[in-house]
Amino acid sequence: MKTMRSILMRKGHQVWTIGAEATALDALKKMAEKNVGALLVTNDDQVLGIVSERDCARKLDVQGRKAESTKVKEIMTKNVLFLDIGNTAEEAMAIMINKRVRHLPVFEDKKLVGIISVGDVVKAVIDQQKFTIEQLENYITGRY
C-alpha cells in the first residue's frame, strides 16, 4: 500500500509557497511559472492557508475583483486539511473526494515535508492496482 512517504520519494518534496500579503496576480504568475495548481500560504514556516487556481477563478473573476489589487489572504482557503507522512493513497483519495479538495500538504512530526495533488494520488492508486493485477496473473499462470 502506497503511503505519502513513497509518493513524495517519487515526486519530490518541493513545496511552493507565497506570503499572505502578495497579490493574487503574484500567486497566479508563480503557479504558472512552477506549473502547479496551488501554493501554500505561509509566514515563517507556518501554514496560514492555501490558494489555488480554483480560488482565483471563483473569488476574483466571479466576484469582479482585480488580481493586481486583491491580496492572497483575501481569497485563500484558511482551514487547510493535511495528511501525515504515513497516510495511504487510499486515505488521501477519500479525503480529497469527501472534502472536494485537489491539494493536500503533508506533515511529518509537525513539519511540512511536501504537498500532493489529486493526480499524484490517482497515479499511486493505479500503480498499486497494476502491481496487484500482475501478482494475481503470475499466481494464476504459475509464474510466481
Average confidence (pLDDT) over 132-141: 82
Please give the residue that has the higher pLDDT: either 142 or 144. Answer: 142
Mean of pLDDT values over 56-68: 87
Query: What is the average per-residue pLDDT within 28-34?
Result: 96
Whether 106 and 114 have beta carbons less than 8 Å apart is answered as yes
**pLDDT(144) > 70:** no
Q: For the chain, which residues make up each domain, given as ranges?
A: 4-141
CATH value of 4-141 in 3.40.50.970, 3.10.580.10, 2.40.50.100, 3.30.465.10: 3.10.580.10
- pTM: predicted TM-score of the whole model, two decimal places: 0.83
Q: What is the pLDDT of residues 93-124, one digit of tens each?
A: 999 999 999 999 999 998 999 999 999 999 98
According to DSSP, the β-strands at 103-108 and 46-52 are: unpaired
